[in-house]
Amino acid sequence: MSRSRKLQIGGIFVGFALGVIATLMLSQPSYLSEANAAGGKVPSPTAAAPERYVYYPGSEELRPDEMRVIACGTGMPAARHKQAAACFLVELGNGDKFFFDLGTGCMANVASLMIPYDFLDKVFISHLHTDHWGDLASLWAGGWTAGRTQPLKVWGPSGQTEEFGTKYAVEHFLKAYNWDYKSRMATLNNIPGQITATEFDYRGMNKVIYQENGVTIRSWPAIHIADGAVSFSLEWNELKFVFSGDTGPNKWFVEYAKDADLCVHESFFTPDQFVELYGRDPGATVNVTTVLHTSPQAFGKIMSEVKPRHAVAYHVFNDEETRYEVYEGIRQTYDGPLSLATDMMVWNVTKH
């Protein structure tokens, strides 16, 4: 047999084998019928994904003894897609839900949780900066059109005079939105368009401002630019959540936040970051970052005194460029459990 003949036979064989494979491929689907994903087997390309190890906020039932806190806003007044302004949603196993602040942009995060708006009717406002209540319009009108059946309830502090208080703010909010308010009333039930404002004395020292259904909420003054800002604690089922709002370091917080399970306190940019990122005058910056707000080092000092089960720092753009300096500042004075908050971070709090 010549050399060329052998090659020819070989060529015919290879051609035959490829033909068989091609025929088999034509008789099978062009994709795998099942495949492994990170969390398990997916039976087909059109099937639902299996249970995964990732967690989606709002997708888990709350246990009767559990407190769940979801950060719906953790950033700055100039809200952005990545971080809305201040908003912490506290959900309790007894069915109660409370907003602590409702800062600009936070309602997009809140809406993504798909919680019925009738369950989201209680809002506690630490102070009247827009980065702490700027999305009231969105909860008010959005919740109204999305099915809330009852008035919205807002609690907030008094001010130095009447026109700096929460009651004044809410009354004039409704006046500012008069066109919206009246036009919606023409087609919708007007009850959920109402807002009841409960104003409490901002000077109250660890004073009870809400007590219902086993839940106690207290307030005390915060130190923040103008009189009227407060911090809050919420106690339920022997669990304690504390929220600073905006404040410089102060002795009241250290005293009244004691025994906190979850202690949320602002931690601002360092003075150097504020000069660099915001182009601020270095002289004025020290006052803003260490007196009207709390520096990372002071945040750490506060947490070392309070000793919560878990500390949460918020009110900073948590970016690759900023977070390490903030973290290292806190770690100079605090070595306990810590989260640097980002939007949609979730804490499940139980005693065990």
In this complex, which beta carbon is closest to Zn ion, that of residue 246 or of residue 261?
A: 246
Supply the minimum distance, in Å, between the C-beta of residue 97 and Zn ion. 22
In this complex, which beta carbon is closest to Zn ion, that of residue 202 or of residue 236?
A: 202
The count of other CB atoms within 10 Å of the CB of residue 113 is 16
Supply the minimum distance, in Å, between the C-beta of residue 293 and Zn ion. 8
Supply the minimum distance, in Å, between the C-beta of residue 251 and Zn ion. 20
Supply the minimum distance, in Å, between the C-beta of residue 244 and Zn ion. 10
Lateral strand order in the sheet of 67-73: 195-200, 152-157, 122-124, 97-100, 87-92, 67-73, 346-349
Could you tell me how far CA 69 lies from the centroid of its own chain? 8
Supply the minimum distance, in Å, between the C-beta of residue 103 and Zn ion. 7
In this complex, which beta carbon is closest to Zn ion, that of residue 103 or of residue 143?
A: 103
Distance CA 60, CA 193 (A): 30
In this complex, which beta carbon is closest to Zn ion, that of residue 129 or of residue 265?
A: 129
In this complex, which beta carbon is closest to Zn ion, that of residue 131 or of residue 235?
A: 131
Chain contacts with Zn ion (rule: CB under 5 A) = 129, 131, 246
Consecutive H or E run containing 292: none
Supply the minimum distance, in Å, between the C-beta of residue 351 and Zn ion. 31
Query: Which residues make Cβ contacts (< 8 Å) with residue 98, sequence separation at least 6?
Result: 89, 90, 92, 122, 123, 124, 215, 217, 234
In this complex, which beta carbon is closest to Zn ion, that of residue 42 or of residue 225?
A: 225
Q: Which has the closest alpha carbon to 334: 247, 214, 249?
A: 249
- How far, in Å, are 46, 168, 173 from residue 197 at the CA level? 50, 9, 11
- Kindly give the pairing relationship between strand 230-236 and strand 239-243: antiparallel
Distance CA 148, CA 267 (A): 35
